[in-house]
Amino acid sequence: MLLIATAKLPGPSHLAWQAAGLVALYAVAGLANLEIRIRSQGIQFAWGEAALIIGLVMLPSSEVVWAAMIGRLIAELIERRAFSKLVLNVGKQIVAVSAAAVVCYFVAGSRVDPFTLRGALALVAAAVVYALVANISVGIAVRLASGAKVPLLPMHRVELIAICGNIGTAFVALAMLRFDPRLLLALPPLLLSVRLISTNRLRTRTERATWQRIAAATDRFSNVDLESVLSTAVTSAAELFSADQVEVLVRLGDEPAGIVRGDQQGVDWAGQADEAPDAAPGETIAIPLGGQRDHDEGPGELRLRFRGRVRLTERERYALRTFAAALGTALRNAYAYAEAQHRAARHAHDAAHDPLTGLANRRYLLRQGEEILRQRPVRGTHAMVLIDLDHFKEVNDTLGHSAGDEVLTAIGRRLATAAGPDDIVVRLGGDEFAVLFVALAAPALAVHRARQMLATLDPPIEVDGIRITVGGSAGVALAPVQGGVGELLRRADVAMYQAKREGVRLAQYARTRDTADVTRLALGGDLRSALADDQFAVRFQPIVDLNSGQVTAAEALARWHHPYRGDLNPHHFLTAIERSDLLPEFTEVVLDAALDAAQDWAGAGYPIGVSVNVSPRSLLDPGFPDLVSRRLARVDVPPERLTLELTETLNLSRLDVVDEILLALRELGVRIALDDFGTGTSSLAMLARVPVDELKIDRSFVAGLTTSPESAAVVRSAIDLGRGLNLAVVAEGVESQQQRALLFELGCPTGQGHLFSRAVSAEKVRDVLGAGGALAPSMSSDAQVIRIPAARLVRGNRHRL
């Protein structure tokens, strides 16, 4: 035996038992392997390098080769390896030890002193060569056996660390043997014990690290985003279980099954299961994500894929089941959250959109419109068009509400198609639509765009085989500097009603024609106290026979003696009353004052009639005829002396309830007058349907009687129509003697206006009647018109119109 003199190692007599000890050492090194799986590759850690170094110091190189071969053969037989693997492992051992022995001989010679620099370097070089040759041999054998292109040097970083540890262990053992070579017999069980302890500690650390990574991964599952949960599951499972590919099959709710596939780097494919590309070849380990009940398939399946054959340990399977259960719970939670988000989004959408047409509703317009108006464009302006359909109720009444819904839906689609990409199309309710034009290049474009919207109504709509044409009236307004979308909507509404009154399809908002302002709004709060404190008074404008100048009737006109704002005419407060719930009380006050005046005149011997203007809203109140009946019963005035004046611009023919109320009024015996005749859009149709006793020609035509041939023609036609239908005709706004003469020549019997008198109190009318009842000389006289002195007609400015 080759020994180092300074080491004082034993002589040749001990060669046999030293060889036996080295054989035992190699056998133990082969049996005490620790295997760790990296993906589908199993990496074994043995003590081959330590046994090699000790053998090269203790025995000649040839004896080391024989000891290594015999020791490895014993280990393989104990492990009951297959013959092919036995041959491979033993052959690898012989080749690797032989190569290492040659390297050691060339570096240090025949004698190796491990405690010199040259000897230590020779032993380290021999150990490295041993590891390299062993791994290269395995690579070549795998290539020859399977044909797979595996690396010829399939070493892992962990293996390098183990080789370094083995070299260090060998030098520690040599230090022990320097003092007593007999310790070599005790070295194999000692190394086996160290290996077992190291193995247990390594497995413990590995399992602890694995559970820590599982805990970290499941913590990331707390994210309620479904895509994030799936991405975390793929990358975490690939890292935890060292899989080449991870696939998650997802089955949630009524959605089609999906697949998410990837590795430690991230997700590389996601989509429906039936569209997934073929998975990578190799072994697949699948585990269900777990159902909440026995018959529940659960939310899916977790699949681990490996390129080679893999057998998971029991601990790995338990960790995999734990991971899959956590993933199943996370998927359910994420899906439940997503469903809740979808429901919330649907509810928010439904709250902001019309369920019939799918257009935005008033709530959406007010919210989104305010944001748009706050972010005013540097160039351009915003505007709104409000469209109200004409005769839509007739569609519902004739074809049914389902047909009406089809018409509304079709119109909604047309408006949405004609709108710009940034415009907001809204169904406000019923048959009203609005379009908010966003960032128009010029204010003048608002009217042009509004006409385009109206034009979409022109093509007929086919419903149940019937072609229906639905027209509309529209108002357009530019966005105000202050007031927001609410004020813009109000202005468009004002313009729309202006279009209806004027009988045109489209009108643009004009401030001069807006009857609503802050003052009128404030007046609404004073109405109740005004009625309670008798602040409303009624004045009367006489209606005169144009030929004789005699008073034949009087029209009642309300005035509000406001304690702070002074005397207000109906122009300032009627709109506020009509929009409040005090209209019946106000109507009752005016009727009582008018009937009291008629009774007073009759008591004085002058039985003339009185006219009272009726709000269009009163004709929609089923209780209005009863109110008139009660007021008539209170006084001794025949019903025929009461005339109720209706505004012609109200489209009476569209409302069945109005027909019923007018019929009930006629049954009471009161007279019906059509006020402002000639300004509406369906005069003849209304005369044919509404039971009218009297026509009142609008003052605008009377004013143009002497200057406009058109106005004269309208007046002449109205007079001829009244004569043909046997109706009384009254001309309003007679201001001059020339107008009176022309009206009389055309055949108009009566008129009213400032030529004869302004509105005065009931007492002043009675005084006129007592003085002969004439407010102007007879047309047969050449005398000038005699006006009633201001002192007789008006007591101070308080009662002046």
For 228-283, the pLDDT digits (tens) are 888 888 888 888 787 888 899 888 877 788 888 888 888 888 888 887 888 777 78
Instruction: Kindly indicate the confidence band of residue 34, based on its pLDDT and cuts at 50, 70 and 90.
Output: low
In whole angstroms, give the CA distance from residue 762 to residue 601.
8
Across the range 735-749, mean pLDDT stands at: 92
Instruction: Kindly indicate the confidence band of residue 789, based on its pLDDT and cuts at 50, 70 and 90.
Output: very low
Residue 169 confidence (pLDDT) above 80? no
Q: Can you read off the two tokens belonging to residue 635?
A: 């006084």
H or E stretch at 301: strand 300-306
Return the SS3 of 725. coil
Contacts of 762 (CB under 8 A, 6+ apart): 538, 540, 593, 596, 597, 600, 601
CA–chain centroid gap for 202, Å, is: 55
In whole angstroms, give the CA distance from residue 313 to residue 319.
10
For 81-99, the pLDDT digits (tens) are 777 777 777 787 788 888 8
Mean pLDDT is highest, among 61-75, 545-559, 642-656, 682-696, for 545-559
Q: Which long-range contacts (CB under 8 A, 24 or more apart) does 284-290 make?
A: 285/310, 285/312, 285/320, 287/320, 287/321, 287/324, 288/324, 288/328, 289/324, 289/325, 289/327, 289/328, 289/331, 290/324, 290/325, 290/328
Instruction: Kindly indicate the confidence band of residue 538, based on its pLDDT and cuts at 50, 70 and 90.
Output: very high
pLDDT for residue 44: 53
pLDDT for residue 92: 79
Of residues 458 and 783, the one with the higher pLDDT is 458
Q: Say which residue the tokens 């509810």 belong to.
A: 347
In whole angstroms, give the CA distance from residue 555 to residue 538.
10
Residue 307 is which amino acid?
Answer: R
Contacts of 22 (CB under 8 A, 6+ apart): 51, 54, 55, 58, 59, 63, 64, 67, 68, 71, 184
Instruction: Kindly indicate the confidence band of residue 571, based on its pLDDT and cuts at 50, 70 and 90.
Output: confident
For 369-419, the pLDDT digits (tens) are 888 888 765 557 899 999 999 878 778 877 888 888 999 999 999 999 999
- Per-position DSSP letters for 609-626, written without gaps between them: EEEEE--TTGGG-TTHHH
Contact 763, 603 (CB under 8 A): no
Contact 542, 765 (CB under 8 A): yes
Return the SS3 of 434. strand
pTM tops 0.75: no
Query: Is residue 609 classed exposed, middle or buried when 0-12, 13-18 and 19+ CB atoms within 10 A define those classes?
Result: buried
Of residues 589 and 793, the one with the higher pLDDT is 589
Of residues 686 and 321, the one with the higher pLDDT is 321
pLDDT for residue 521: 57
Residue 799 confidence (pLDDT) above 70? no
Contact 647, 500 (CB under 8 A): no
For 446-489, the pLDDT digits (tens) are 999 999 999 999 899 888 888 888 889 999 999 886 668 888 99
In whole angstroms, give the CA distance from residue 628 to residue 614.
11
Architecture of domain 221-341: 2-Layer Sandwich (3.30)
For 193-210, the pLDDT digits (tens) are 666 666 666 667 666 766
| Closest alpha carbon to 76 in 64, 93, 62, 61 | 93
Mean per-residue pLDDT over the chain, rounded: 79
| CATH code, 5-208 | 1.10.1760
Tell me the angle at which helices 48-58 and 117-146 cross, rounded to the nearest 10 degrees.
Answer: 130
* Alpha helices, H only, 570-611: 570-579, 583-603
Of residues 335 and 516, the one with the higher pLDDT is 335
Across the range 20-35, mean pLDDT stands at: 65
Contacts of 364 (CB under 8 A, 6+ apart): 352, 353, 424, 426
Instruction: Kindly indicate the confidence band of residue 795, based on its pLDDT and cuts at 50, 70 and 90.
Output: very low
Q: Can you read off the two tokens belonging to residue 89?
A: 């492992």
Q: Would you kindly state where each structural domain of the chain is located, as residue ranges?
A: 5-208, 221-341, 362-514, 541-799
Q: Can you read off the two tokens belonging to residue 543?
A: 């209606």
Q: Say which residue the tokens 């009930």 belong to.
A: 664
For 344-375, the pLDDT digits (tens) are 888 888 888 899 999 999 989 988 988 888 87
Tell me how crowded residue 200 is: count the other CB atoms within 10 A of its CB: 11
pLDDT for residue 141: 64
Q: Quick one: the chain helix, strand, coil %, rounded to 5?
A: 55, 15, 30
Contact 270, 261 (CB under 8 A): yes
Architecture of domain 362-514: 2-Layer Sandwich (3.30)
Reported as half-sphere exposure (CB side, CA atoms, 13 A), residue 595 has a value of 22
Instruction: Kindly indicate the confidence band of residue 339, based on its pLDDT and cuts at 50, 70 and 90.
Output: confident
Residue 730 is which amino acid?
Answer: V
pLDDT for residue 192: 62
Residue 566, strand partner residues: 562
CA distances from 206 to 37, 43, 198, 200, 240 (A): 11, 15, 12, 10, 11
Instruction: Kindly indicate the confidence band of residue 648, based on its pLDDT and cuts at 50, 70 and 90.
Output: low
Pick the CATH number of 541-799 from 3.30.1520.10, 3.40.50.300, 1.10.357.140, 3.20.20.450: 3.20.20.450
